[in-house]
């Protein structure tokens, strides 16, 4: 029997039992849809969370000064620790695993433009701050090394700060008064969705060079003079993350005379560890959701097996006649095996088509910031195909063997008696 005849015969058999076949195929189809959609949803959530977390910063550790909880160098515990405005130079020099060590200082300052006024947070740091904290340029430019070296009075506005101070009017080239000090606006930030912060949303801030900040708006009581709020530290790579943290702690401990293992003296908000923890959670969710789809798929495979067993029983005389005419067990085995595979792969193909089409339609809709949409990957496609193939072969093997084992004389007698 040619494959064309086999396919025709299979389709005729399926059509003769439409409802039963439809319900059986639904099990396989729904299993494939479940696997694809659940894995795609997990991937969309993973990508969305990662993308949203990067709006706060890229692989950074924020070192906050605190109070010592351990005695060190003959100094008492409970002593307040402050970061000096030049610590970043020494820490970077003593931390070869760190790419950046950036000081940051911020004050709420009354601001006014020609059109409006308000009190916003003014932040001073170094040029790499824009990259590290995902402060992307929408118009103009961010301040650079020349601005820091020259202590230039230039300002970069957050997108909401620009709207508050200038509305829809152009801001670049305008003068912004920070208190009584005029600053030239050189750029405006691109709007972003920010999921976390330690001092407010970046879109509502004004960014100026660190040198200008320490000159015009130095630390105010209760902070000692010439100190900064915190240090932003970035490792050279994720593999050097732990080394960077240890080196930075050791350097700060040496400078400020506290035990580097004292977590209270220098506590860290580690966005890298947070991202790793989120990744573990998402992996667990993805495995769980995928397992639900796998169970559904194998249940569908049992349905296919039952249908083919019924088909073997109903076609007992046909099998007997074919064997009496010389058909081998291998030929009978192959026929029912291929018929089962056709049912399973036809159902799986329909399921994958529906799932991928649904993903494409959903991705046309606006998505929340933490969800990137339904993102089926090549991995989910390969997984679905392998599981489908395994299910199909397992479903086909037993019915095909039952058909091949039919005794032709008993088969003819059984049909005649029926």
pLDDT tens profile 89-106: 999 999 999 999 999 999
Residue 2 C-beta-side C-alpha neighbours within 13 Å: 3
Question: Cα–Cα distance between 235 and 268 in angstroms, integer?
Answer: 14
Question: Cα–Cα distance between 308 and 312 in angstroms, integer?
Answer: 6
Question: Cα–Cα distance between 98 and 235 in angstroms, integer?
Answer: 4
Do 336 and 56 form a contact (C-beta atoms < 8 A)?
no
Percent over 90 (pLDDT), the chain: 36
Q: Is 373 left (phi over 0), alpha (psi -120 to 50) or beta?
A: left
pLDDT of residue 142: 97
Q: How far is CA 268 from CA 84, 134, 249, 355, in A?
A: 17, 19, 10, 43
Percent over 70 (pLDDT), the chain: 79
Cite the DSSP H helix spans in 181-221.
Answer: 210-216
Tell me what percent of the chain is helix, strand and coil, each rounded to the nearest 5: 55, 20, 30
Mean pLDDT of 399-405: 69
pLDDT band at 413 (very low <50, low <70, confident <90, very high): low
Do 97 and 247 form a contact (C-beta atoms < 8 A)?
yes
Rounded CA Rg of the chain: 34
Do 319 and 334 form a contact (C-beta atoms < 8 A)?
no
Q: Which two tokens stand for residue 356?
A: 């991928």
pLDDT of residue 418: 44
Do 72 and 86 form a contact (C-beta atoms < 8 A)?
no
Question: Which of 37-46, 50-59, 113-122 is modeled with the greatest confidence?
Answer: 113-122
User: Rounded to the nearest 10 degrees, how much is the dihedral formed by the CA atoms of 47, 48, 53, 58?
Assistant: 40
CA 318 to chain centre: 56
pLDDT band at 343 (very low <50, low <70, confident <90, very high): confident
Question: Cα–Cα distance between 140 and 186 in angstroms, integer?
Answer: 6
Do 125 and 206 form a contact (C-beta atoms < 8 A)?
no
Residues 109-153: pLDDT tens digits?
999 999 999 999 999 999 999 999 889 999 999 999 999 999 999
Helix (H, G, I), strand (E, B) or coil at 266: strand
Q: Which two tokens stand for residue 19?
A: 């409802």
The answer to whether residue 251 scores a pLDDT higher than 60 is yes
Question: Cα–Cα distance between 418 and 130 in angstroms, integer?
Answer: 84
Per-residue b or e along 299-320, where b marks 16 or more CB atoms closer than 10 Å to that residue's CB = ebbebbbebbeebbeebbbbbb
The answer to whether residue 336 scores a pLDDT higher than 90 is no
The answer to whether residue 23 scores a pLDDT higher than 90 is no
Q: Calculate the average pLDDT of the chain.
A: 82
Question: Cα–Cα distance between 266 and 275 in angstroms, integer?
Answer: 21
Q: Which two tokens stand for residue 72?
A: 């060190």
Q: Is 135 left (phi over 0), alpha (psi -120 to 50) or beta?
A: beta
Residue of 134, 137, 136 whose CA lies nearest to 56: 134
pLDDT of residue 376: 81
Neighbours of 416 (CB within 10 A): 9
pLDDT of residue 416: 45
Q: Which two tokens stand for residue 187?
A: 């750029």
Tokens 């291998």 belong to residue:
330
pLDDT of residue 74: 62
Question: Cα–Cα distance between 162 and 365 in angstroms, integer?
Answer: 29
Question: Cα–Cα distance between 208 and 144 in angstroms, integer?
Answer: 10
pLDDT of residue 14: 67
Question: Which of 51-55, 164-168, 272-276, 408-412 is modeled with the greatest confidence?
Answer: 164-168
- Judged by average pLDDT, the poorest of 11-15, 204-208, 370-374 is 11-15
Question: Cα–Cα distance between 345 and 389 in angstroms, integer?
Answer: 8
pLDDT of residue 166: 94
Mean pLDDT of 367-388: 74
């Amino acid at each position: 029997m040619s494959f064309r005849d086999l396919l025709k015969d299979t389709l005729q058999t399926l059509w003769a039992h439409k409802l039963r076949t439809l319900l059986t195929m639904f099990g396989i189809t729904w299993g494939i849809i479940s696997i694809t959609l659940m894995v795609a949803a997990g991937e969309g959530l993973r990508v969305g969370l990662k993308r949203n977390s990067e709006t706060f910063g890229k692989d950074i550790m924020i070192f906050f000064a605190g109070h010592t909880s351990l005695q060190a160098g003959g100094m008492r515990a409970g002593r307040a620790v402050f970061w000096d405005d030049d610590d970043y130079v020494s820490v970077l020099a003593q931390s070869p695993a760190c790419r950046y060590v950036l000081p940051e200082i911020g004050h709420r300052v009354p601001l006014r433009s020609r059109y409006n006024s308000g009190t916003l947070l003014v932040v001073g740091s170094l040029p790499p701050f824009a990259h590290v904290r995902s402060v992307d340029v929408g118009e103009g430019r961010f301040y650079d090394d020349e601005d820091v070296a020259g202590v230039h009075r230039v300002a970069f506005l957050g997108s909401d700060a620009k709207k508050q101070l200038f509305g829809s009017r152009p801001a670049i080239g305008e003068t912004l008064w920070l208190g009584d000090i005029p600053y030239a606006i050189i750029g405006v930030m691109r709007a972003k969705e920010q999921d976390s912060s330690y001092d407010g949303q970046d879109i509502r801030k004004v960014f100026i060079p660190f040198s200008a900040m320490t000159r015009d708006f130095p630390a105010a009581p209760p902070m000692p003079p010439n100190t900064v709020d915190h240090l932003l530290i970035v490792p050279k790579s994720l593999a050097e993350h732990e080394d960077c943290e240890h080196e930075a702690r050791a350097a700060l401990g040496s400078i400020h005379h506290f035990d580097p293992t004292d977590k209270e003296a220098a506590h860290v908000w580690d966005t890298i560890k947070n991202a790793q923890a989120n990744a573990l959670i998402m992996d667990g969710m993805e495995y769980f959701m995928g397992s639900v789809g796998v169970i559904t798929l194998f249940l569908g495979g049992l349905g296919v097996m039952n249908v083919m067993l019924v088909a073997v029983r109903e076609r007992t005389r046909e099998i007997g006649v074919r064997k009496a005419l010389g058909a081998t067990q291998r030929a009978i085995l192959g026929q029912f095996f291929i018929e089962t595979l056709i049912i399973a792969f036809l159902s799986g193909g329909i399921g994958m088509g529906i799932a991928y089409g649904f993903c494409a339609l959903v991705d046309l809709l606006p998505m929340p910031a933490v969800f990137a949409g339904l993102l089926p990957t090549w991995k989910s496609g390969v997984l679905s195909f392998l599981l489908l193939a395994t299910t199909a072969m397992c479903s086909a093997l037993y019915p095909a063997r039952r058909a091949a084992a039919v005794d032709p004389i008993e088969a003819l007698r059984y049909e005649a008696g029926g």
